[in-house]
Amino acid sequence: MIVTTKKLFEFAYGQYAIGAYNINNLEQTMGLFRGCIQSKAPFIIQISKGARSYTHKKMLEAMIRTADEVFPDAIFAVHLDHGDEETCYDCIKSGFYSSVMIDASHEPFEKNIEITSRVVAAAHAKGIVVEAELGQLGGVEEHVNVNEADAKLTDPDQAEEFVQRSGCDSLAVAIGTSHGAFKFSGAQAIRLDVLEKIQKALPGFPLVMHGSSSVPQDEVERINAAGGQLLGAKGVDADQFKHAAELGVTKINIDTDGRLVWTRVHREYFKAHPETFDFRPIGKEFMQAYADFIAAKNEKLGSAGRLDDIREQLKAS
Ligand code: G3H
Ligand code: 13P
Ligand code: ZN
């Protein structure tokens, strides 16, 4: 069942975070739904601009609608990840998305507010909620490449003004994480001290943590043992997720870890079966591995085991 992102945030706030997982293809979609049913967790499906053009944006929509039928017990929202203004308007118009992210975080403060406010006006007119970003994460995204030195943590003193003036419904904060598989050139730590200050400035307001893949070392070692060359890859400590949730983080974005699962499964399989050229056996193996990965991640987020409760809350609301 597709529900509003707003509702999921209301249920989760202060207790657990909802996993927001990026999808690009059928195998990821199947693995994601299976993993969330397996762990009885609500979730957010994220679609990036790059994912929308990988095959066709309508292909992803059709896949998600079908998955909704195939997995009638699933409870989830559909979200545009890192949208620019034009893509936000396209998603709002489509009527399919529960929420959009306008990422104008690379713009100066006033310009970020100006752009975000325009998207908020268009989205709210259609009952869709908006995630905005203040501060700047390091790492690689499709349209921006920010090195760690240029990344800016969210200023807690600006956060309240930003939210009030832009009218956004949730805020992505930069608290030391970055996109991709090479996070933290120094100590591996989320800046929970900064998060705590942001929550004090915005009590009860849903916060979002991007760049939250854990980049498990055993996964990296297996990839490298099977011919990969991911040297120095490092991620977020997933044991910090529950603390972050208590400090107002309701959505945690994970994409890179899923790509690592894909890479590990495929590299190991083809190394062990050099004679093979059939995509179905390996596709099946990936879907199950991805489902297991998602289920384990939902345990770390605290979202596992919540579905029955949420169903009751939805009936009552
Ligand atoms: O933060 C970006 C997400 O990992 C999506 O990546 O733009 O390559 O689809 P993508
Ligand atoms: P990772 O690269 O850490 O998976 O972050 C994903 C993300 O923030 C998507 O918006
Ligand atoms: Zn992101």
Ligand of minimum distance to the alpha carbon of 238: 2
**From the centroid of its chain, how far is CA 133?**
13
Considering only CA atoms, which residue is closest to atom 2 of ligand 1? 141
What is the structure's pLDDT at 184?
A: 85
**Closest CA relative to residue 237, chosen from 172, 274, 183:** 183
**Closest CA relative to residue 5, chosen from 87, 128, 172:** 128
- pLDDT tens-digit profile of 151-188? 689 999 999 999 999 999 999 999 999 999 999 876 66
Average pLDDT over residues 118-145: 86
**Closest CA relative to residue 129, chosen from 116, 141, 111, 110:** 116
Helix or strand or coil: residue 31? helix
Please answer whether residues 294 and 250 qualify as being in contact, where contact means their C-beta atoms are separated by less than 8 angstroms. Answer: no
pLDDT of 142 above 60: no
What is the structure's pLDDT at 140?
A: 55
Average pLDDT over residues 96-108: 97
Give the CATH number, domain containing residue 120.
3.20.20.70
Ligand 1 pocket, 48 CB below 6 A?
A: yes
Residue 112: how many other CB atoms lie within 10 Å = 22
What is the structure's pLDDT at 49?
A: 97
Ligand 1 atom showing the smallest separation from residue 210 Cα: 1
Cα(141)–Cα(50) distance, integer angstroms: 10
How far from each other are the two terminal CA atoms of the chain, in whole angstroms? 15
Res. 139 pLDDT band, cuts 50 70 90: low
Of residues 138 and 192, which shows the higher confidence score? 192
Question: Left if phi > 0, otherwise alpha if psi is -120 to 50, otherwise beta: which for 14?
Answer: left
Considering only CA atoms, which residue is closest to atom 5 of ligand 2? 211
Cα(243)–Cα(18) distance, integer angstroms: 13
Ligand 2 atom showing the smallest separation from residue 183 Cα: 3
Res. 189 pLDDT band, cuts 50 70 90: confident
Q: Both tokens of residue 306?
A: 């919540």
Instruction: Provide the 8-state DSSP code for 73.
Output: T
Amino acid at 274: P
What is the structure's pLDDT at 149?
A: 54
Residue 280: how many other CB atoms lie within 10 Å = 7
Amino acid at 68: D
Q: Is 103 a catalytic residue?
A: no
Phi, psi (deg, nearest 5) at residue 261: -60, -45
Residue 305 bridge partners (DSSP): none
Ligand of minimum distance to the alpha carbon of 256: 2
- pLDDT tens-digit profile of 201-246? 999 999 999 999 999 999 999 999 999 999 999 999 999 999 999 9
What is the structure's pLDDT at 132?
A: 98
DSSP string, 109-145: HHHHHHHHHHHHHHHHHTT-EEEEEESB-BEE-SS-E
- pLDDT tens-digit profile of 11-56? 999 999 999 999 999 999 999 999 999 999 999 999 999 999 999 9
DSSP string, 152-187: B---HHHHHHHHHHH--SEEEE-SS-BSSSB--SS-
What is the structure's pLDDT at 151?
A: 66
Considering only CA atoms, which residue is closest to atom 4 of ligand 1? 255
Residue owning tokens 């929970």: 192
CA of 275 to the centre of ligand 1 (A): 33
What is the structure's pLDDT at 19?
A: 98
Average pLDDT along the chain: 95
CA of 253 to the centre of ligand 2 (A): 5
Cα(272)–Cα(292) distance, integer angstroms: 21
Q: Is 277 exposed, middle or buried (0-12, 13-18, 19+ CB in 10 A)?
A: exposed
Number of domains in the chain: 1
Ligand 2 pocket, 253 CB below 6 A?
A: yes
Parent domain of 147: 5-316
What is the structure's pLDDT at 185?
A: 74
What is the structure's pLDDT at 23?
A: 98
What is the structure's pLDDT at 16?
A: 98
